Structure 1
Amino acid sequence: MMYEISQRFFFDAAHTLERQIEVEASRRIHGHTYDAEVAIQGEPDLSTGMVIDLGQLRLAIRQLRESLDHMFLDEVAGLGVPTLENLCAFIARSLGEQGFQVSRVAVWRERAGDRCEFRPV
Structure 2
Amino acid sequence: MVCEISQSFFFDAAHTLDRAIETAASRRIHGHTYNAEVFLTGQPDPATGMVTDLGLVRRELALLREQLDHHLLDEVPGLGPTTLENLCQFIFSKLLPALPTVTSVRVWRVSIGDGCRVTRPL
> What's the TM-score, normalizing by structure 1?
0.97
Distance, in Å, in 1 between the alignment partners of 2:27 and 2:12 is: 18
Aligned residue in 2 for 1:100: 100
Pairing 1:82-97 to 2, within 5 Å after superposition: 82-97=82-97
Question: What is the aligned length?
Answer: 121
Distance, in Å, in 2 between the alignment partners of 1:70 and 1:24 is: 22
Offset at 1:71? 0.4
Distance, in Å, in 2 between the alignment partners of 1:53 and 1:30 is: 36
Is the 1:92–1:120 contact (alpha carbons within 8 Å) kept by the matching residues of 2? no
Offset at 1:102? 1.1
Aligned residue in 2 for 1:14: 14
Long gaps (5+) in structure 2: none
Q: Sequence identity, in percent?
A: 59
Aligned residue in 1 for 2:81: 81
Long gaps (5+) in structure 1: none
Is the 1:107–1:116 contact (alpha carbons within 8 Å) kept by the matching residues of 2? yes
Q: Secondary structure at the match of 1:93?
A: helix
Q: Deviation digits for residues 62-90 of structure 1, max 9, x if unmatched?
A: 00000000000000001111100000000
Amino acid at match of 2:91: I
Amino acid at match of 2:120: P
* CA root-mean-square deviation: 0.8
